[in-house]
Amino acid sequence: MDSIGVTSAAMLDTGNFVLSSDESAIKWASFDIPTDTIVPTQILNPLGKLSARLTQNDYSQGRFELILQGDGNLVLYQKARPMGDNYDGYWDTATTNGSQLIFNQSGYIYLSLGSGNTNRSSLTPTTQVSPREFYHRATLDFDGAFRHYTYPKKFTGGRWRQSWSVSEYVPSNICTAFGGSALGSGVCGFNSYCKLDDNQRPQCNCPPRYTYIDSNNTFNGCKQDFLQQICGTSDGFELREIPSIDWRTSDYGRFTSVTEDWCRETCLDDCFCAVAIIREGTCWLKKFPLSNGKTDPTDKGKALIKVGSSMLFNLLLISVICLANCGFRHKKQHKMRQDPPSISGMNLRSFTYKELEEATDKFKEKLGKGAFSTVYKGILELNPQSLVAVKRLESVVEGVEKEFRAEMSAIGRTNHKNLVQLLGFCDEGAHRLLVYEFMKNGSLASFLLEIQNLIGKTLNGNLGMKIMRLSDWAYDCYVENKLHLLVENDEQAKTMGRCWKGWDLNLKLELETVGFEIALELLLVIEKLVYHLVNALELEK
């Protein structure tokens, strides 16, 4: 500051922040470098400008600029972002001798013409509320309109709203102001159109089957919700009709003395046509991106907007739903493999594959092997005295997933003092393992497993498979704790449960063959042997 001779700073009553020297000469003033707003007593000199902010809440440099040009014309420009170049102006005073834009202390805004102060071009009404009672400001808003605002300094008993109110603005209709330049999107973004609301402020809307690019910033434009047309085909597209809408700067074709039907067919057949405008026998074809869109109640034309047909939309919707459903099912199946099964009434521990690999010393000691699985002896790390039997299902066998969950459900729900207890499981990736308490004398499950192996080695063909299924049926009886009832021919057991149904279906429907007597005799031998072993406590349930 010393280098420019500044010795003091002050905020003046006008709102001007100044830096002054010892002689009270102003070296720098905030009024000389305005941003988007000017206030009473502030002057905009030639080449001075106001720059709008980007959005209502984003104060970075926006898309519009007000500048007093060196030729004396006051002009509103749309700017190219991010470089900041000016497109064509969309409003001006059409003056050649404007010297200053003045906001005087009485609250009037005008362009001084020439060197005198009598010739002026007024930007505000001739009657204005007094600055003694109201605050004044003029702002180039983010939507491109230059507005004069007032705010009551004191409570007026409801006569005036206690908020900033617009007293004047230029241009008179910001929506229809654009259209002279083929560059830029206009007040609203590309592929949208502008309509004034009840407060005469622009409202940006999307055409049918278009949505906002950013729902938080409706001035940012719209995008299609359908696939763009492929050249060479018109199937799957239709035209939606909206009156009094146009995108004046998106033309690429114009045809006079044509009918509306001709205009429709031409647009549908042309893959470059996004919108057709039909007005008094003239057809305009519009291309993407649609720019400077607006509604004009005086416009007698109508817009024919090309969109994907309802049938195509439905097909796409069905495809999306199918893809989402497939994704959901895949995710659900993946989750079923990754997460522990949720079975009511079960209190099981979920083991990792590595834990069970270490517990069995890399599956070293084999206790038994069946068609779908192998059982290993193991010791849990948390309790070295706790021996377990780890049943590993073969992942390459079809039906393992079903067997794994069926066995968890059957054994996990069973709570009986004489039944082997299911302690936990592993459901990790392709690994399916069940962890049981270790029975020193074996279990009925392992006994039946041995029977299956014996049958598989002794009998060939269909009969052997059916006998093996009967041993599975015997295991179901064991799970329901009804094996001894069947051996004793108890009628109660024959009226309920999977056990008796298994007997009925397997024998009557499956084994009505030449080998029926052999199968029945073998089954009875198995049952009696199991029953006597259980009674003799030589085989634990």
Compare 510 and 92 and report the one with higher pLDDT: 92
User: Which CATH number belongs to the domain containing residue 43 in this structure?
Assistant: 2.90.10.10
323's tokens = 């893809």
User: Which CATH number belongs to the domain containing residue 361 in this structure?
Assistant: 3.30.200.20
Instruction: Read off the pTM.
Output: 0.56
Compare 465 and 141 and report the one with higher pLDDT: 141
Looking at the fold, whether 166 and 245 belong to one and the same domain comes out as no
Per-position b or e across 460-491, b if 16+ CB within 10 A of its CB: eeebbebbbbbbebbbbbbbbebbbbbbeeee
Q: What would the pLDDT profile of 202-251 be if each residue is shown by its tens digit?
A: 999 999 999 999 999 999 999 999 888 888 877 789 999 999 999 988 89
DSSP-derived 3-state class of residue 403: helix
pLDDT of residue 532: 47
What are the C-alpha distances in Å from 472 to residues 79, 202, 288, 318, 451? 81, 77, 70, 44, 10
Looking at the fold, whether 77 and 145 belong to one and the same domain comes out as yes
Looking at the fold, whether 147 and 168 belong to one and the same domain comes out as yes
Residue at 413 is within a domain = yes
Residue at 501 is within a domain = yes
**Top mean-pLDDT range of 210-214, 335-339, 415-419:** 210-214
Burial status of residue 320 (CB atoms within 10 A of its CB: 0-12, 13-18, 19 or more): exposed
HSE-up of 429 (CA within 13 Å, CB side)? Answer: 4
Q: What would the pLDDT profile of 25-58 be if each residue is shown by its tens digit?
A: 888 899 998 999 999 999 999 999 999 999 998 9
Compare 354 and 372 and report the one with higher pLDDT: 354
Residue at 317 is within a domain = no
pLDDT of residue 257: 95
pLDDT of residue 243: 94
Q: Point out the least confidently predicted range of 118-127, 153-162, 288-297, 417-426.
A: 417-426
Q: Report the candidate in 171, 228, 179 with the shortest Cα–Cα distance to residue 202.
A: 171
Looking at the fold, whether 269 and 294 belong to one and the same domain comes out as yes
Residue at 266 is within a domain = yes
Compare 135 and 343 and report the one with higher pLDDT: 135
Q: What would the pLDDT profile of 180-189 be if each residue is shown by its tens digit?
A: 666 888 899 9
Looking at the fold, whether 70 and 163 belong to one and the same domain comes out as yes
Looking at the fold, whether 484 and 523 belong to one and the same domain comes out as yes
pLDDT classification of 161: cutoffs 50, 70, 90: confident
Rounded CA separation 181/25 (Å): 45
Looking at the fold, whether 48 and 159 belong to one and the same domain comes out as yes
Last residue of a domain, one of 142, 172, 202: 172
Sign (positive or negative) of CA dihedral 396, 398, 402, 406: negative
509's tokens = 């429907």
**Top mean-pLDDT range of 182-196, 344-358, 375-389:** 182-196
Rounded CA separation 59/56 (Å): 8
Residue-range definition of the domain harbouring residue 72: 34-172
CA angle 533, 537, 541 (to 5 degrees): 80
Ligand-binding annotation for 332, yes or no, is: no
Looking at the fold, whether 54 and 128 belong to one and the same domain comes out as yes
pLDDT of residue 109: 93
- The residues, ordered by sequence, that sit 6+ positions from 7 with a Cβ below 8 Å of its Cβ are 1, 20, 21, 22
Looking at the fold, whether 44 and 151 belong to one and the same domain comes out as yes
Q: What would the pLDDT profile of 51-81 be if each residue is shown by its tens digit?
A: 999 999 898 989 999 999 999 999 999 998 8
pLDDT classification of 399: cutoffs 50, 70, 90: low
Looking at the fold, whether 255 and 373 belong to one and the same domain comes out as no
Number of domains composing the chain: 4
Return the percentage of the chain with pLDDT > 90, whole number: 37
Residue at 117 is within a domain = yes
pLDDT of residue 508: 38
Residue 412 has pLDDT above 80, yes or no: no
Looking at the fold, whether 57 and 137 belong to one and the same domain comes out as yes
148's tokens = 């004069």
Q: What would the pLDDT profile of 91-139 be if each residue is shown by its tens digit?
A: 999 999 999 999 998 889 999 987 655 678 888 776 678 888 899 999 9
Radius of gyration of the chain (CA): 44
pLDDT of residue 122: 85
What are the C-alpha distances in Å from 190 to residues 212, 315, 357? 10, 27, 62
Looking at the fold, whether 156 and 278 belong to one and the same domain comes out as no
Phi, psi of 5 (to 5 degrees): 75, 30
Residue 1 has pLDDT above 70, yes or no: no
Rounded CA separation 415/96 (Å): 100
254 touches 282 (CB < 8 A): yes
CA angle 427, 432, 438 (to 5 degrees): 105
Residue 438 has pLDDT above 50, yes or no: yes
pLDDT of residue 509: 36
pLDDT of residue 319: 53
DSSP E strands in 16-73: the ranges are 17-20, 26-29, 37-38, 43-44, 49-53, 61-68
Strand partners, 150: 136, 165
Residue at 253 is within a domain = yes
Q: What would the pLDDT profile of 490-506 be if each residue is shown by its tens digit?
A: 444 444 444 444 444 34
278 touches 206 (CB < 8 A): no
Residue 346 has pLDDT above 90, yes or no: no
Residue at 7 is within a domain = no
Residue at 336 is within a domain = no
154's tokens = 């004191």
Last residue of a domain, one of 438, 453, 471: 438
3-state secondary structure 190-242: CCCEEEECCCCCEEEECCCCEEECCCCCHHHCEEECCCCCCCCCCCCEEEEEE
Rounded CA separation 439/325 (Å): 45
Rounded CA separation 26/6 (Å): 9
pLDDT classification of 22: cutoffs 50, 70, 90: confident
411's tokens = 């054994």
